[in-house]
Structure formats: C-alpha cells, structure tokens
A and B are shown apart, each in its own frame.
Chain A
Amino acid sequence: MKYWRVPLDADQIEVTRGIVHIVAERCKGCGYCIAFCPRDVLEVSPRYNAKGYHPPQVKRADECVNCHYCEIICPDFAIYSVEASADLV
C-alpha cells in the first residue's frame, strides 16, 4: 500500500509481525484468504491436499502483520496467524 504522506509518528509505530499457519487438510481451495490478504502474503500452492484441493502457501512471509483477516474470512477453519515473537520463543 502506498501512502501519499508519511504519518508524523511513523517512527514510533511498531508494526506487528505474524506467522501464518495453514491446516492444509481442511482447506477447500476457495481462495478467499489469497484474494483478500491486505499484504498479499499468500498464493495458491501447486500441491494437492488429501481431498484434491490446492491449499494456499506463504509467498512473502515477512509481509504478514498478523491482522488475522485470513483467519476470520476462512470458511473452513484452515488458516490462522499468530504473533511472530510468541511463536519464535
């Protein structure tokens, strides 16, 4: 996303980092998480899951800001994100 000006307190804002987890076997390949991710983190994976759908895969892991939108739009409880620091410990 491009801003036409930088917020005055931009240097004080800490951007959260997230890690996306995909439960591939639950996915039905609707593509909502891929289409509506605000940071364009996900893409269609070439591999199949057991039901024959293409689950998403993480394309740009560093871009995730842990907004949870993929988690709440997913109709199949197949994707979620956790905050990076908590996960890396």
Chain B
Amino acid sequence: MNKTKERNEHPLDELLRTDRIPHIWCPGCGIGTAFSASLVAMKTSAIDLQKTVMVSGIGCSGRGAGYIKLDSYHTTHGRAIPFATGMKLANPELNVVVFSGDGDLFAIGGNHFIHAARRNIDLTVVCVNNFNYGMTGGQAAATTPCNARTTTTPRGNPETPFNLPFMAFAAGASYVARWTILHTRDLTKSVEEALLRRGFSFIEVLAPCPTSYGRRNKQKPLDTLKAYQERTVIKHACHPAEVQLDFERGITLGKFFDLERPTFLDMYDRTCRPQERIEKSEAV
C-alpha cells in the first residue's frame, strides 16, 4: 500500500489528446486553466459529447481545438464564429463551443461576434482575454487596458479597451458572464450553465499572459493572480455598462445577464418554414 504511488492518468485524460500534452502554453499561462474548466463543464453538464464540437480561431487560445479529443475545428483567424454558425445551422443537434482568444474574437473577428450575438445563434463562446496578442509577440490588442505597455505601445497604450460583456449584451447575447482563472469553480459552473442555455452565451475569462503582457507590465504570474484575488468584486446581475476592468480601481466579475429569447433557428423556422412547423406540431 503505497500512498504516493506514481499515477500518470489525469481525470481529464479521456477528453485530451494526451499525445500532444504537455501543451505549448507557457508556464503560468491561464489558457490551460480556462481550457480545463471548459472540459470539466462539458463532462459535468452531461451533454452528449459525441455531439459536441469545439471551434477555435488563431492564437494561443486557438490551440485549444487541437488538444480536445472531440470533434474540433481549428479555423482561420477571426472566423471561429462563422464556422461555428455554419456547423450549428447545418446540424442543429450539435453543441457548438467556441474557445478562442480576445484578439481572434474581438479584433479581427469582432463583426462576426456582434452578428452572431444579434442573431442569437445557439453557441457557447468562451473568450480567453489575456489583454494582448500573445502568440505574435505581445502587440497591443483591442482589449489592452489604457496605459498598459506592450510591444507596440512601449510608452503605454493610449487607447480605451473594449468592454466585452457590454458589447455582448448590447449586441443581444442571451448569457453574459466574466470570470478569472482564479475563480475556477465559478467559471466551470458558468460554462456549464452556458452549455445548457439555448442561445448565444458569452463568457469572458481573464487570464495572465506572463511571457508577453506580464513581463512588460511587471506582473509575475502569481502577482496577476493575487491581483485577481484582491481587486475583483463579484456582482451578479450588474448592468454590463457598469462593469469595470481596471487593475487599479477594480475588476467586476459575475453573471451579468441571463435571459432566454428565441434563437436564430427558432425564428428561421417560424418565418421561413411555417408549413414544416405545423406538420411537426401535428406529428407531436
């Protein structure tokens, strides 16, 4: 009876392409935690994993699709949501999860995001926000906080970043939440809720990027997590316009919005296929 016997199988190994692990994410990178929280949520939400697809764009977070042992798509830059939309419309039975980064979903893919939220397509979007373009060397992104230093803003970022939950809410998403990788249990619960929620669900996950963003802003990975611990305030049902993301003044976390409304497929069937709908309801 050896209490500390070597064991090499992790409980999530059944959902991982273990031949590709260890993954490419840097030591201290938060994407791994966000990814593992999504996998746990997929397992615990009891959705049919044979009918679950993960779609990723380009970037560090975009590698997620390569590590999951389910059907997955690694798409072109910014186009994770269009691929996911197509997949969902072609086969409405699928549970489509988009796992990608802030640069991919909100900079090059910003319009796709807005329109998918407007149409309320039944997707679950997990956006890992690490405040910069990590994979290409730490350039300023649409989410880089004001005054933060990056490769392309060595004297500080003069721009104002996007408020992602507000944008998702304004565009018409059904579920909007924000967590950090430190709030892993809440994050997992939130992804689980989003998977079961019909309609466009958006979860922003704040994650440290020690190699690119942290190094230029004097944030060691543990410092970032300590900041997440000390400066975050959980305010459920806070109006997304009042949500803060500022390492000095505070970071608002929580489930901001959760309201079911007809999805794109419901509306499409109602408008363009009324005959089939009548037949279906008669058959039932």
Contact = CB atoms under 8 A, between A and B. Distances in A.
Contacts of B1: 88
Residues of A contacting B: mostly: mixed
Interface residues of B, number: 34
B222 A31 contact: yes
Interface residues of A, number: 28
A30 B214 CA distance: 14
B23 interface: yes
B contacts with A: majority SS: loop
Contact of B10 (A23, A28, A58, A87): A23
Given A32-B225, A35-B222, A36-B182, A74 B36 contact: yes
Contacts of A28: 22, 26-28
Interface of B: 1, 3-4, 7-8, 10-13, 16, 21-23, 25-33, 35-37, 40, 181-182, 184-185, 188, 221-222, 225
20 contacts: A21-B7, A23-B10, A28-B22, A28-B27, A29-B27, A30-B27, A30-B28, A35-B225, A58-B4, A61-B4, A71-B11, A72-B40, A74-B32, A75-B32, A75-B35, A76-B21, A77-B13, A77-B36, A88-B1, A88-B3
